[in-house]
Amino acid sequence: MIKNAYISATAHSVPKKLMTNQDLEKLVDTSDKWIQTRTGIKQRYTVDSKEATSDISTKIALQLLEKREISPDDLDLIIVGTITPDHFTPSTAAIVQKNIKASNAWGYDLSAACSGFLFGLETGANFIASGKYKKIMVIGIDVMTTILDYKDRDTCVIFGDGGGGVILEPCDKNYGIIDSILHMDGSGGEYLNVPAGGSRMPASIESLKKRQHFVKQDGKTVYKYAVKGMADVSKAILKKNNLSGDDVSLFIPHQANKRIIDAAALKCGIHEDKVLINIEKYGNTTAGTIPIAMNEAINEKRIKDGDYILLSSFGAGFTWGSMLIRWKMKF
């Protein structure tokens, strides 16, 4: 019998170092007022020179094991959604597996930018549905400050570092991840990318001089596609499941920009009281935004059994999607 996947534990972690908008004013031509007006961000956390994606991921993984009260050996699979891995190889998932001594787990990294966690949940849920896997760890995390150009004020003010994760387990069809709709449009790649560092443009003196190893984006174009993409896919999944915005207990969108979130929620008919926004504290942590917000919602008791939770994301690729969860954490 095919099973749904439910979330049995949540966790998140961010670096200790805090960077405020006032700190950014000292690095680039910007202001606190300009950043808050355009993005809603007041601060973000950044890694120090000795921290990498796997370090924060390991902290998340250990929290998840402790919360679920299971052994590392109980894990079957580890999926890490990230575009800032420690290395091209080995994968961040492999490093986490080593660090937590999950000797029975295999895994891999998944690259879908800001949709990385959502795509990871979908992948994990289907492994659960196969009946072969019982406990899957999905982490969404990025340390974006390692690929930011602090001479590009339109980009460097947006992002922060951190992530979160969940453990997926099987449950009956009435709960857990009920449905998802995921999309990708590769023609959007020109508007949000990191030009150099891959096989298309290997690292060279020229690529370094041209600052092509940093995130580049056409902000206006990305904003337009993000609002439409997140709103349309969220409306579509509600309609598909005969639900409306009134039926949603909590909307947890990707924290890209407060204006994008507000516009998407409005188009879906979801009241602002049901929208989780924490971008002011963390900035855009890319694959980390949704799992961070989800864990905060659990800690703040904003989610209870039986609630319909709506997730939505939009990221480079372009990638975007929505997921509907009927919440229950214990069976």
* Catalytic entry in 4, 257, 284, 295: 284
* Catalytic entry in 114, 156, 171, 268: 114
* Catalytic entry in 4, 254, 268, 295: 254
Rounded Cα–Cα distance for residues 284 and 276 (Å):
14
Residue 171 annotated as catalytic: no
Residue 242 annotated as catalytic: no
For the chain, the residue count is 331
Q: Across-strand partners of 183? A: 320
Residue 156 annotated as catalytic: no
Cα 127 to its chain centre, rounded Å, is: 20
Q: Across-strand partners of 143? A: 161
Provide the annotated active-site residues: 114, 254, 284
